[in-house]
Structure 1
Amino acid sequence: MSPRTADTAVAVHPLLAERWSPRSFDTAHELGDEQLVALLEAARWAPSARNTQPWRFLVGRRGDTTYKRIFEALVPGNQLWAGTSSALIAAVAAELPDGGEPHHGSAYDTGLAVAQLSVQAHALGLHAHQMGGFDAEALRTGLGVPAGARPLSVTAVGVLAEADLLPDDLRDRETAARARRPLVETFFADGWGKPLAVDLDG
């Protein structure tokens, strides 16, 4: 088990156990068309309610205008590191799909699409870091996101670089042990807060 592999109660697929969200990316790496399309296809084939596919993505590769505008919409703390990534991909939920009826599950479905993109990135030897720290209105204005569509997240994609390239505080976060709440504090049965009973020895 590598230091970044999740310490799970039972084995899960390596793509899930090994996936993590770094901040240090290789500035020499360029995301090619085939890799990019693989990421987008993974997102495109996510499940959605009634197959409405409410997700839309604004895709920028380092050096192009879309990348620049997405980067400018990030909060300063994310700008400290995200500009080294090979791509910045903004996920937008179409809350009023083509039929015009509100889609109340659009954010959930869009999140599924982003999750599939992030797992596909890991399968390709890339890393993805999702961010909620950005100015949605700046993104909306800069890239013409219409009314009825809500920017939800920005994902930085690239190849991992050394943690020592980061400022001290970010380097410490980059190398800190990964952790999650225990199962008993997260998964319930027979009522809220009542831990799900499972037998891992049986």
Structure 2
Amino acid sequence: MTTSRDAETSVPIHPLIAARWSPRALDPDGKVTDEQLRAVLEAARWAPSNGNTQPARFLVGRRGDPVHERLFDLLSKRNQGWAHPAAVLVLACAATENEKGRVPMPEYGVGLAAENLVLQAVAEGLVAHQMGGFDKEGAKLVFSLPADVEPQVVIALGALGSPDLLDEERRAKELAPRRRLSLGEIAFGGEWGTPVF
């Protein structure tokens, strides 16, 4: 079983960030305790947001309950192929309005909250995989979401499982080296395209 997939970085970064990755091999018997679930949601609650508007909202389903089943049914067939063992499925949504009117940059706020959530999952000894492949319009209907709430991502939470649980294609991806663009390709100084490092 894969136990460490730490990022190879040009300088040391925080261990939680280095250890965060998006596995598809989830232990079908893995658990997320109430304390762990509360901790990941609490971490999401404390994410920064524009003017403290806090646009992130979460629908939470545990394996075997109706919310989990409905969220699973909304996933793309490709994601259904691996996400069924997730102990928890979380639908992260953006509340686009509040009492003052339109919330500025709500999707960005949800992204920050989701990152806090997955980093706390790592701290809790869990794994998380975020999925954009799901039926957003279906989620609005199935969960009777208010008109000002937009589904953004479904997050699978659980315990890491063996890559042997996956089909050949997914297992190859699970075991392949992790890759990112180099720092010189994403961080510029002086002018666009000139690496800062």
Q: Scaled by the length of structure 2, what TM-score is found?
A: 0.96
Q: Distance in 2 between matches of 1:155 and 1:72?
A: 14
SS at match of 1:140: helix
For residues 65-106 of structure 1, what are the alpha-carbon distances to aligned partners after superposition, in whole Å with 9 as ceiling and x for unaligned? 11111111100000001111100001100111233x112311
For residues 167-196 of structure 1, what are the alpha-carbon distances to aligned partners after superposition, in whole Å with 9 as ceiling and x for unaligned? 110000111000100111101122222211
Taking only aligned residues, the RMSD between alpha carbons, in angstroms, comes to 1.1
For residues 91-148 of structure 1, what are the alpha-carbon distances to aligned partners after superposition, in whole Å with 9 as ceiling and x for unaligned? 100111233x112311001100000000000001000000110110111111111111
Show the counterpart of 1:129: 129
Q: Distance in 1 between matches of 2:83 and 2:142?
A: 18
Moved more, 129-138 or 186-195: 186-195
Q: Distance in 2 between matches of 1:133 and 1:38?
A: 26
Show the counterpart of 1:90: 91
Q: Distance in 1 between matches of 2:40 and 2:182?
A: 31
Show the counterpart of 1:39: 40
Show the counterpart of 1:167: 167
SS at match of 1:91: strand
Q: Is the 8 A contact 1:75 1:134 kept in 2?
A: yes
**Paired AA for residue 41 in structure 1:** E
Q: Is the 8 A contact 2:60 2:68 kept in 1?
A: yes
CA shift, 1:3, in A, is 5.5
Show the counterpart of 2:61: 60
For the pair 1:138 / 2:133, whether they are aligned, the reply is no
Q: Distance in 1 between matches of 2:32 and 2:49?
A: 27
Q: Is the 8 A contact 1:3 1:177 kept in 2?
A: no
Q: Distance in 2 between matches of 1:46 and 1:191?
A: 31
List 4+ stretches of structure 1 deviating above 3 A. Answer: none
**Paired AA for residue 6 in structure 2:** T
For residues 28-83 of structure 1, what are the alpha-carbon distances to aligned partners after superposition, in whole Å with 9 as ceiling and x for unaligned? 12222111100100000111111110110010110111111111110000000111
SS at match of 1:178: coil
Q: Percent identity?
A: 47
Where in structure 1 are there 5+ consecutive unaligned residues?
A: none
